[in-house]
Amino acid sequence: MAVSEMGEFLRRAEARLLDLTVESQKADWVYDTYITPDSELLAARAYSRLIGATAELAKESTSFSTQGLSDVDVRKAKLLRVLLPLVAPSDPTESEELSRRVTAMRGIYSKGRYTPRSMPEPLDLQGLSRVLSESRDPTLLEEVWRGWHAVGREIRPDFVRYVELANRGATELGFSDTGAMWRSKYDMDPNAFAREVDRLWSEVEPLYRSLHAYVRRRLLEHYGGDQVPAQGSLPIHLLGDMWGQSWENAFPLLAPPSTAPDLNLTRILVGRGLSPTDMVRTAERFFTSLGFDPLPTTFWERSMFVRPRDREVVCHASAWDVDYVDDLRLKMCIEITADDFMTVHHELGHNYYQRAYAGQPFLFRESAHDGFHEAIGDTIALSVTPEYLVQIGLLDRPTDPSGDIGLLLRRALEKVAFLPFGLVVDKWRWDVFSGEIPPSEYNAAWWEMRQRYQGIAPPGPRGDEEFDPGAKFHVPANVPYMRYFLADILQFQFHRALAREVGASGPLHRASIYGSKEAGRRLGRTLEMGTSREWPDALEVLTGDRRMESKGLLEYFAPLQQWLDEQNRTSPVGW
């Protein structure tokens, strides 16, 4: 094919994929906000058309030489092959089956319920998670944990077949399996990317192990030796979170005993009478303080902030760019909590990123890599400091710095505790897709990996009939997860660079970029690039670095690391 013909092919491909993506986004929005058999079927068919066309165009593009193409078109051709995390097989029947099974898994997950013996009505995931976060009864916590994880059993058969079909599509594109295809999105060899991830983990693992040891000792003090071992893995159901990925709900049991009172943001938000819409408006004002435009009127008309009473919906928080231009939306069942306050900031980070790169060609309307997309909103959330809360009128005066260990511990229970979980979800799937983990060992391998990286164990034996990975949304929904691990590293790298931009003095955990137009301009230049350049170029624009680094995270938590080391002097570290 001549160079001009290849360029024309790419432009036709972009136009076709844009149309199909918008169609699929609209069908998915209806399904996620109004779950019925009809909306499920329509969403599955639209998604099937999209992944079928993507696979067809990606395969067609590989048959042509890129010699003589412009750098822009060479990059487009490369990105076309890894555009979606799921590639349909060429066979139309298998293609339709793949999209149907993924949609069905999402539906099973979203409709999951369990009725604890002490409660009158079945609870959805949000209700069950509330029990885990608030109760201190280990028997109830174990029951609720087991009750939700039963959802995986129903998902398992679809998942086994999904792996087969997804791999078939990936191999038709020239990848060894779907996991290798996912890793190929990072502008480096898939194996080199896996080594890069291991490097980052090795740098932050000592901090995680220190936190783990402190948490184990404090839980042992509260629950006793019949529930928590003096040395070994943490019981997952006692950590305040359904997946043991975030431990801040257990903070009341773990708080430093001799520091100033902790900043209770949930109590402040409830006391000020904020509504879900107020939460979103507050987050929007952070972005406008940096110089970004307000969200469009349609955002407020079309978003879902509250769980409807009359229908099933997917409550998992997500930011949408339905038309890939300016039809931005937030879908979330917002509760007036500190966690959701942070989540709203995070999700609007996605929306502002989506709007910033809307002027790029379709194949470049993405983040530099998916970890960037997740990191931007969290970078903003790191600026939700006591000083910021004073600026927006939620606090009368900043909290005393003597309480900063409590503030840092609470944040570490969210951010540092998450790191190995963010690693495991995709490391497990990479091995599943490659065939290293066969279906008969899905659950055993899941818990072996979680014990090895996280030092976490289930509340008793889990047999092969269980499918505990399926109890995490991203697994049945086919959403790659490594982006969250990368974002947990990058957000501190971003925060450190932007805090320096505004000349913030003092410790990094007290720095806020709220109101800084200069920080907003640097951030905006990065967001506007989309994926038009390789991610080290975008990283350099924002931070001056060309390599992902953990120095920002380690600097942020340095005071806590020193404190933890003192606390752990007589306690075993490791498991």
Q: Which of 179, 200, 195 is nearest to 419 (CA)?
A: 200
- Is there a contact between 190 and 183 (Cβ–Cβ < 8 Å)? yes
Q: Which of 474, 475, 484 is nearest to 414 (CA)?
A: 484
In degrees and rounded to multiples of 5, residue 467 shows phi and psi of: -140, 75
- Is there a contact between 387 and 397 (Cβ–Cβ < 8 Å)? no
Number of neighbours of residue 436 by Cβ within 10 angstroms: 12
Tell me the residue ranges of DSSP E strands in 146-212: none
pTM of the prediction? 0.91
- 400-442 pLDDT tens trace: 887 899 989 999 999 999 999 999 999 999 999 999 999 999 9
Six-digit token pair at 69?
């193409």
Q: For residues 360 and 348, give the distance between their C-alpha atoms in angstroms, rounded to a whole number.
A: 20
Number of neighbours of residue 196 by Cβ within 10 angstroms: 17
- Report the run of H or E that residue 393 belongs to, with start and end: none
Confidence of residue 262 (pLDDT cuts 50, 70, 90): low
* pLDDT at residue 514 is higher than 70: yes
* Domain definitions of the chain by residue range: 1-114+150-174
Six-digit token pair at 145?
């944990």
- Is there a contact between 374 and 483 (Cβ–Cβ < 8 Å)? yes
Residue 502 is predicted with a pLDDT of: 85
Confidence of residue 445 (pLDDT cuts 50, 70, 90): very high
- 2-38 pLDDT tens trace: 567 888 899 999 999 999 999 999 999 999 999 999 9
Provide the b/e sequence for 325-335 (b: ≥16 CB within 10 Å): eebbbbbbbbb
- 285-322 pLDDT tens trace: 999 999 999 999 999 999 999 999 889 998 889 999 99
Residue 65 is predicted with a pLDDT of: 74
Residue 55 is predicted with a pLDDT of: 86
- 32-91 pLDDT tens trace: 999 999 999 999 899 889 988 988 998 888 777 777 889 999 999 999 989 889 988 989
Six-digit token pair at 205?
């693992």
CA 572, distance to chain mean position in Å, is: 31
- 515-546 pLDDT tens trace: 999 999 999 999 999 999 999 999 999 999 99
Residue 68 is predicted with a pLDDT of: 82
Cβ-based neighbours of 475, under 8 Å, separated by 6 or more: 159, 425, 429, 469
